[in-house]
Chains A and B, each alone.
Chain A
Amino acid sequence: MTDAPSIHENGEGRYCYSIVLHGASVDLGNIGIDDNNVYTVPCREIAAVVHSCNAQPYVTEDNDTAKEWILTHNYVIDQATKQFGTVLPFSFNCIIRGDDDTIPEWLSADYDGLRAELEKVKDKAEYVVQIFADQVVLLETIAKNDEGLKRTQRDIRTASKGAAYLRQKQFEHKVKDAVLIAVTHLAKEFGSRIQANVDEMKAEKTPSQIPDKYKDMKLVVTLSCLVQDEKLEDLSEVLDEINNRKGFAVRFTGPWAPFSFVQLQEV
């Protein structure tokens, strides 16, 4: 790796949106955060998509401003994708110290790695699959098939009041465990069927918010998938089949730039 670029004296910076497979300077217009002009700075066959700013991060306490910035960042990535094909997206608020001359220096330092990543995600996109299960249907299925649970239910009916209360608690625990096992099992099953149709797949933890539509359902699994454009049909079919099963719902969003597959890598 070459020496780190020298820190620019006059406090200039470049806000980074993404890296693209395109070796020329292009002006994308004033589509950036705070209406800044977004353009590419190339280094051989790749380029960084940036806007010029002060060498300080974007900070705000105002919700609306923050939303605006975040959505704009995403919009610029979308536009870059439209124009240049697949991109390597940056996380929000990555600002490099320096000016346009600084950029080719650091792109050059990681050139092979970045180039390889771009090739890896070419003609692919990220999609997010969330599978929800209706609690009632889940419980019905579990109760039907679990002898132990049925027995506990019978015991509750025949027991005296005190004993019945304890058995009820026991029953509730068993049901909770059974639901967990069923959900884990389903997650594995769905996961492997989906995996067969994607290049890469990652299980994600529960997102910060779930759309109201699914509030009463149990989230079985959230998967980020890197999917080849030509395999999208096949994946859709698998998801349709799961979505059509009684008591299940699939939420499918995308295409996204491959955020999860350039996973907080240092550049």
Chain B
Amino acid sequence: MKPETENGLVDVLDRLVNKGLILNADLIISVAGIPLIGINLKAALASIETMLDYGMMEAWDVKTREWYTNELAKKTCAPLFENEEILLRTFGSLYYSQGIITTWRTGFWYLTNKRLFLWSKEPTQMFFETYLDQIESLSISAETYLSKERQVVNLQVNCDKVARIRVSEVAAFTEAIAKASGKKICEASSSLLVTT
């Protein structure tokens, strides 16, 4: 059986947009401006999510992050209640563990004057949602992931287990939640330190 050497567009997209080397954050102009072709949009969004999982957006300059947040937020429509205002919107992820499946679910974190939620655009769904007054505690801990140190925000809602959250601007995000919910940021307990 001989391999097909004619590279159709879809096959090329599956390689070039989701895979290959990328530059580290210090050097990169941006990987922004992934072209918005119909069939590519899914791939483009997926590649951003993959990069987020690898924590590669953290050192992007502010302008690039803003561009992304705005460009892609235009394509998502998170449901808001009446009189609900967005205080902060940022890319991020949530640690999800069910049986043998553990993964970081990525999407947009929305902090509003009423809630904190993680909204995914593709497919559209709410991965996590809490009202601000249900937040019990908030802390930041350090983790190693792919042999890199990362900061994780730990959020306790009512008596549920702690939600582990990753975003690029950890300090700003956590402070914003603290301010909006009226809770103080406390010391992370050492039992929360994990290696993934």
Real binding pair = yes
Are B28 and A74 within 8 A (Cβ)? no
Q: In the complex, A91→B37 CA distance in Å?
A: 17
Any A CB within 8 A of the CB of B62: no
* Stretch from A38-46, A64-72, A168-176 at the B interface: A64-72
Of all chain A residues, the one with the shortest Cβ separation from B53 is: A264
Which chain B residues lie closer than 8 Å to A74 at the CB level?
7, 12, 15-16
The number of inter-chain residue pairs (CB within 8 angstroms) is 168
B26 / chain A contacts, CB cutoff of 8 Å: 4-5
Inter-chain CA distance A74–B5, complex, in Å, is 13
Known: A66-B40, A243-B1. A264 touches B54 (CB 8 A): yes
Interface bits A73-106 vs B (CB < 8 Å: 1, else 0): 1100000000000001111111111100010001
- Specify which chain B residues have a CB less than 8 angstroms from the CB of A98 in the assembled complex: 27
> Which candidate, B17-25, B94-102, B111-119, is the interface stretch facing chain A?
B17-25
Give the contact-size bracket for chain B. 35 or more
**Interface 1/0s, chain A 48-78, versus B by CB < 8 A?**
0000000111111101011101110110000
**Band of interface residues on A:** 35 or more
Q: Quick check: A267 and B22 within 8 Å, CB to CB?
A: yes
Q: Are B21 and A265 closer than 8 Å at their CB atoms? A: yes
Interface contact A57-B42, CB-CB below 8 Å: no
Q: Among the listed B18, B23, B35, which residue makes an inter-chain contact with A60, where contact means beta carbons less than 8 Å apart?
A: B35
Is B9 touching A91 in the complex (CB atoms < 8 A)?
no
On whether the beta carbons of A240 and B1 are closer than 8 Å, the reply is yes
| Chain B residues within an 8 Å CB radius of A97 | 27-29
Does A29 reach chain B (CB closer than 8 Å)? no
- Let me know if B4 and A94 touch, CB within 8 A: no
Instruction: Annotate A251-264 by CB proximity to B: 1 below 8 A, 0 otherwise.
Output: 11111110110111
Verify if A226 is at the interface (C-beta below 8 Å from B): no
Q: Is B80 an interface residue (CB 8 A)?
A: no
Least CB distance from B64 to A in Å reads: 9
A89 neighbours in B (Cβ, 8 Å): 15-16, 20-21
> Can you give 16 A-B contacts (C-beta < 8 A)?
A5-B27, A59-B33, A59-B35, A70-B40, A89-B16, A91-B18, A91-B31, A92-B17, A96-B27, A96-B28, A207-B14, A208-B14, A253-B11, A259-B15, A263-B19, A266-B54
